[in-house]
Amino acid sequence: MANDPTPSVTGKEIAVPSTSADISKTNISNPYFTHHSDHPGFVNGSITVPFEKTDPEDYAAWSRCNDTVHSWIVNALSPKISDSVIYYSTAHEVWEDLRERFSQSNAPRIFEIQRDIAYLRQEQLYVSTFYTKLKGLWDELASYNDAVLGAQQDQQKMMQFLMGLNDTYSAIRGQILLMNPLPSVRQAYSSVSQEEKQRLLTSTHTASDSGGSAAMAVRSKPAPIRFEKSDRPFGSHDFRS
């Protein structure tokens, strides 16, 4: 294991230094290839260590995969933290150390997220920007509360999305709430987004038409009547005839 090259994280890929030709990172024959379903097992310890003397091949495969996951975790940490866990031999040991140190109560952060969701309003944002910010909060909240899943959660998201919209969308909001069954939050977003695009298109045409009408009004405006001043006193008449 000590003689194997240690993989390092480069961007989103795992770069494995090699004295020979580069090995494809997506090739299953790569000794550092690990299936995505294997990663949690090395972290949570559900993949046990094979006995080296009785199962040398399994142990070698486990060792290579463990080193890869170990490297992924360590390279994702700041230097100060990574220095404190780099000498653990298994990825599971690294993960447990980090979990015990940093997995404090999530209640304060969950409270903050739920508060941010409750108070988030569209205001001057486009519907797409508002929805993106709201979705980011939903995703973070879900990472703390994986048990809250399913249709009930999606319905709650849809309600929060509709509540945060400006009052100018009250009509389409009412239409969505009257649907049976209720649409998903994605369907609700799609409907409101289409409404926003239609309004922007209509306002553009209206502004263009208003500009043309104003120009036409200026061109067709009659010339003002001009009265010439007379030196003759008001009420005087010339009766000579």
Look-up: residue for tokens 């519907």?
127
Residue 74's CB is within 10 A of a number of other CB atoms, namely: 19
Distance CA(233)–CA(219), nearest Å, equals: 38
**Which amino acid belongs to residue 64?**
R
Q: State residue 103's pLDDT score.
A: 66
How confident is the model at residue 89, as a pLDDT? 86
Domain ranges of the chain: 8-102, 107-206
As a whole number of angstroms, the distance between CA 98 and CA 43 comes to 11
**pLDDT tens for the 241 residues of the chain, in order:** 444 443 333 333 333 333 333 333 344 344 444 444 445 565 656 677 777 778 788 888 888 888 888 888 888 888 888 889 888 888 888 888 888 887 666 767 887 898 899 999 999 999 999 999 999 999 988 877 654 456 678 888 988 999 999 999 999 999 999 998 889 999 999 999 999 999 999 888 776 666 656 555 555 555 554 545 555 555 555 555 4
- Phi and psi torsions of 177, nearest 5°: -70, -20
Furthest CA-CA distance within the chain: 144
pLDDT at 51: 76
Q: Are 99 and 161 in contact (CB under 8 A)?
A: no
Q: What is the pTM of this model?
A: 0.42
pLDDT tens-digit series, residues 70-127: 888 888 888 888 889 888 888 888 888 888 887 666 767 887 898 899 999 999 999 9
Rg (CA), the chain: 35
